[in-house]
Amino acid sequence: MSGQISVRDPEHPKRVLIVVSNPATSEQTGWPIGFWWSELTHPYWEFVEHGYTVEVASPDGGALRADSWSDPRDASGYSADDLLSLGFINSPRHAALIESTKAIADVDLTSYDAVLLVGGQGPMYTFFRDERVHALVRDSYEAGKITAIICHATCVLLRVRLRDGRLLVDGKTWTGFANSEEDFADNYVGQKIQPFRIEDEAKALSGTNFIVAGRFWPHAVRDGNLITGQQQYSGTAAARLVIEALGV
């Protein structure tokens, strides 16, 4: 596990809340959209391998739906080699975690050591517009908890403000889905997918430092208690930064 030593305390395990988008419909493409499988399953694997307890929640609660291309069984074959997600999907115990999620209104943040928001196409609508999600991120961060956000879920950081009115990312270095990756995705399907681009919006902000690595390279950034991952290949890297921040 990347050379790390796991310090386990079975009686007092670290607890992580993973927050996932509810199902939605893209206003740009008309597609049914939701979360991206690997951004849930790969961090989940890292956490449980370190003895952590992981729970899954969503803004509204209830059953969730993944973006089809993220499903290893999808006819497109786009994620066919994602064996971690395939195993998760085919395990009744694990699949149940997304069949009946807790609503974030019912979440007691004091019970968790860290919060991780999962990306996918859904968050560009469901997280970006939802004040409940913004408040969860703000409250987690201001409580001093490790707050991690991956891929398109980082769109919330364009809007989340602290109680003093400043953007959470004011003075922060962070990452999110890159323009080069949006270009690739748009060209792959032959149309514009997202309603806006996170990199463009982030770079239009003053007082914040948005950075990206190469297209679809694993890339995660920690700045204090804020951890961000660039895209779907960055879930493991982001989870490992969470583990490092929590003292493994």
How many H-runs (helices) and E-runs (strands) does the chain carry? 8, 11
73-80 long-range contacts (CB < 8 A, ≥24 apart) are 79/37, 79/38
Segment 233-240 shows an average pLDDT of 98
More confident residue, 1 or 196: 196
CB 202 within 8 A of CB 178: no
> How many Cβ atoms sit within 10 Å of the Cβ of residue 180?
14
pTM for this prediction: 0.94
17-43 pLDDT tens trace: 999 999 999 999 999 999 999 999 999
Kind plus residue range of the DSSP H or E element containing 32: strand 32-33
Share of the chain above pLDDT 70, in %: 96
Run of H or E residues at 179: helix 179-189
Q: What's the CA gap between 115 and 15, in Å, rounded? A: 9
- The predicted model gives 227-241 an average pLDDT of 98
E strand segments, 34-127: 53-58, 102-103, 114-117
Domains and CATH numbers, the chain: 15-245 (3.40.50.880)
For residue 12, name the pLDDT band (cuts at 50, 70, 90).
Answer: confident
Q: Is 129 exposed, middle or buried (0-12, 13-18, 19+ CB in 10 A)?
A: middle
What is the pLDDT, as a whole number, of residue 27?
Answer: 95
Distance of alpha carbon 105 from alpha carbon 143, whole angstroms? 17
